[in-house]
Structure 1
Amino acid sequence: MGTIDIAPGDFISDMALDLKLVIGFVVVTLAFIYVPVINETIVRSALGLVMLLFVPGYSLIAALFPGKKDVDGIERAALSFGLSIAVVPLIGLGLNFTPWGIRLDPIVVCLTIFTIACCLVANKRRHELKAEERFSIDFSKAYDELKEEVFADKAPLDKALTIILIISIILSICMVAYVIMVPKQGEKFTEFYILGPDGKADRYPTRYVLGDQKPVIVGVVNHEYRNVTYDLVVSLSDSVTVTRLYSERLTLGDNQTWEKKIDVKPDRTGTNMKMEFLLYIDGNMTAPYRECHLWVNVTAPLT
């Protein structure tokens, strides 16, 4: 077997078109995720699904099988879907054990690094082969190659498997398109929560001296699939009296989050008094839509 000379600069400049398109697709997807205005369009969802369900698997297949005869085109496409479905959850599982967790930014970064790294490995391995042995896609002849793949002189079982693969790929694409075009509306609800002054679900202020003013963080997240006007009321009640300590009106769009640190100041002394955080919706003040509460003790100041 003869040696293969690779001229300086060929490694990147001679990168196959399919690998360049994969890297270009990743860059375009990042733009539609993070650039304002365009990241609110349906294109973001479409590119994101392709990024999750096809691109990582294709780049991995390219790295594993650099040769033209290793795996044919239809099998590459089918394996790209299958490996993507396997790789993405594994990346998510790994992120779950890191300080970053399973969030958008860490997932995007990891998928980007994984995809580009696989493309570079695939490019290197292809350059280690003779030019005529490297896998590449001639897009101008793609239809003819697909037709030849399906209708070539093969055993009936091989033809059947090839047709099944093609149908599976087409059905997958159609299902993805359906999910994008007809998104299912989930359950309508509103998140309502209170946190301590450190932004955590502990160290709530429950002991006051009359005249003290202590902060509590209140959060509202709208998942009602519409703009909603809320009324937030903080009240203090015992067995006899109910007084309002704080109130505010806010309007949130769908999926919008509101979080604010408010200072609460009890107006009287007492033990085991109920400090209620009440959230009303659409101006209906007859019954709270969501509620949280703390049991507080308020003592008189020392003289």
Structure 2
Amino acid sequence: MTRTIRWLLDVLAVLVLTVGAALAVHGAVPGVRVAATALLVLFLPGYAVSVALFPRAHDPDADPSVGRSMVERLGASTALSLGLVAFVALAVNFTPYGITRTSILGGVVALTLAFALAGFVRRAMLDPDERYAPTFPVSALMFTNDHSWGADSHTTTYNLAVGLSLVLVVGSAGFAAWHGPSTAQYTEFSVVKGDQTVAEAAVLDDGEPLEVRLENHEGESQEYTAVVVAQRVSEGSDGAVQVRGQRVLATETLSAGDGETASETFQVSPPSGDDIEVAVLLYRGAPPSTPSRETAYRVLTLEVA
């Protein structure tokens, strides 16, 4: 295979494997998911970084051991990958998305593709003879070359990149250990019946006021909206409740600081019928134009007596 084609192969492989691995992570085959995750955590991001940082073949003043250069890239890819993944995890922690599989996967895939494309552009701008073209001869695995790694101008840059990656990995571990697992953030939501609070299976008697109470454990002050709806329901073939129609009875806003409680009393008159339920839908902030159980942050359901 000519050098004209070889300089494209690893870039194309990184692009294809990254997209394929990102799709496979959400697949149904456990073994494939593990392999795809390993590629995205341990290899592809780091190799893409090396493609972007080092578009040239070896320094012409150094011993032209192209095979050894490939080994350098493969060896550094793991450390660079771990560093890039650690950087993404730290970065998304300070975004509204937080540290989730989707946010980290999206960040890693985006940066991997960006570095690979940057490497492609940088190689394309070089003279054909200067472009790095991957090859992996068997002799590259034999450490018999007397040439010292320190003599190669690439080695210092690699050492710096790998060192920075290790610092990011250690720093991420220290950050996680220092802050520890974040305390679960939630809001308690219940119906007040006399001197008791009921979170489920409550009954609304005819003419009885509907009092709801919430307790904010979100870590900061929150604005809530409670929407009371009368719903006509039926039981689906799978036993799940299906809403066939609804009418909004009342809407109120509530505010509570972290650790504080708030309550609201509604005077509602739902229609009667065995298939009627009253649902209280709690939203953080404003509700959508069509409130539903699926979009609500918390849901309370009451049978109508």
Q: TM-score range by the shorter chain?
A: 0.3 to 0.5
More RCO (CA 8 Å, sep 6+): 2
TM-score, normalised on structure 2? 0.46
TM-score, normalised on structure 1? 0.47
